Chain A
């Protein structure tokens, strides 16, 4: 038997700015077991949420994640609206789709850039993040903020997008889309990049489903799952096709994210074009009843779940968060088993981990 050793990968390491440790049991260069160790940045947000007013919890939910923040507040608001039986105006639903899909574009560009950085293609990383700046500019123009938008409210949204801004956004998206082919071709066709991604970290379809993988990780393994198909917000009126791959390796996950950039661009354009006139919010009175709901949306990383239980007061009885990275951790452990040590950074980054979300 070869000599075994254990390597602690993290919590501080070059590929990911967030702290997660992986205990890697090695036999020579091959990993035979991987275990996660988290808990470095647990903030106790679920406990804080019980102490705050349910309206204040929107701000708390938005701060669970510093990347897909809008979708956290959107899911929280949708959950409370379901609990309190609030009918949201149609225009607000479309505006939520616009900001959610813009968030998805910025999140995917961010992780594709980090992936390029992980396999040592620094120039590609910088180019992808330069394009991402345009997306952040759209968010700043429409909401006044670059990441934590603060526009979602129970009963609708707080800001509207004027016709002038619509034109501005469409111009910005056109400019962004023109730059994508060159970058995406490099990501998907470059010989060196393919050598690092193809056949690495393979997750078969049955394992992906059994281990509860979600989002691009599941879709890259051929699992048909995208909660936007349920038609929440205005997705039911906006026809789109979900992206799937079969190979289940790091390359397939990259392909899914690249294709989803185009899907999101398309969805933003459709939402802006079809957005009806009308109010953007309705007044909300009262408190969440003593009832429970499991709110779900499709975040850039996959399915996000909020369990919300009211008790008839302005404080919630329970607010539980299950983020997509938490769901993808078992799949990550499966991918790491049997792989080479040198592939760990790329495999880890390919699930698009967000530890801040996961520990909340």
Chain B
């Protein structure tokens, strides 16, 4: 249901983002989804409450060029994408080296679908445990 979505290739990111900036668009944010073989990256821009989106499919062995040189505000979300989804981003003005939002020892790229959910693991009770004879 997103309207105004333009699908572009990686090679045209800088050009398209630059044109939007020249046209007076404000950088809102970026969204990245894991689609197995590739990451689906969306750039969101706003002008007078109207949204415009750029969609780029980034194969997992390919790096995404940073737009932080055009919109400085993209710097933080690009570092976050690198942390949470493992998207390689080339040319970020500041690279937090994978420690922007994740702490030392945290699971790597937790938002990728191949990484299982973290949290409390509920163990199924064995009959013995249910009777209270086994201490967990």
Contacts and interface: CB of A to CB of B under 8 A. Distances in A.
A293 interface: yes
A40 B111 CA distance: 18
Interface stretch (A102-110, A208-216, A266-274): A208-216
B117 A39 contact: no
Contacts of B101: 38-39, 42, 359
A212 B26 contact: yes
Contacts, number: 82
Given A48-B117, A320-B31, A291 B1 contact: yes
A212 B71 contact: yes
A230 B51 CA distance: 12
Nearest to B104: A39
Interface of A is mostly: mixed
Contacts of B106: 42
Interface stretch (A127-135, A169-177, A323-331): A323-331
A305 B101 CA distance: 19
Interface in B1-41: 1-2, 26-29, 31, 33
Contact of B72 (A35, A211, A307): A211
A47 B117 contact: yes
Nearest to A212: B73
Nearest to B5: A292
A307 B42 contact: yes
Contacts of B2: 292-294
Interface string A285-314: 000000111100000000101010100000
B29 A322 contact: yes
A292 B1 contact: yes
A160 interface: no
Contact of B27 (A212, A293, A317): A212
Interface string B104-122: 0010001100000111000
A35 B94 contact: yes
Could you say which interface size class chain A belongs to?
A: 35 or more
A330 B73 contact: yes
Contacts of B31: 294, 307, 318, 320
A322 B1 CA distance: 19
B72 A44 contact: no
Nearest to B27: A212
Interface string A213-253: 00000000000000101100000000000000000000000
B86 to A, nearest CB: 14
B103 interface: yes
A51 B1 CA distance: 23
Nearest to B44: A294
Nearest to A223: B26
B84 to A, nearest CB: 8
A132 to B, nearest CB: 30
Interface string B61-80: 00000000001110111000
Contacts of B33: 309, 317-318
Interface string A3-47: 000000000000000000000000000000001101110101011
Contact of A327 (B29, B99, B111): B29
Nearest to B29: A322
A131 to B, nearest CB: 33
11 contacts: A42-B101, A51-B117, A210-B26, A227-B49, A294-B44, A294-B51, A318-B31, A318-B33, A326-B76, A327-B29, A330-B76
Instruction: Give the 10 A-B residue pairs with the shortest CB-CB distance, closest first.
Output: A212-B73, A322-B29, A307-B31, A51-B117, A330-B73, A318-B33, A39-B101, A320-B31, A212-B27, A293-B1
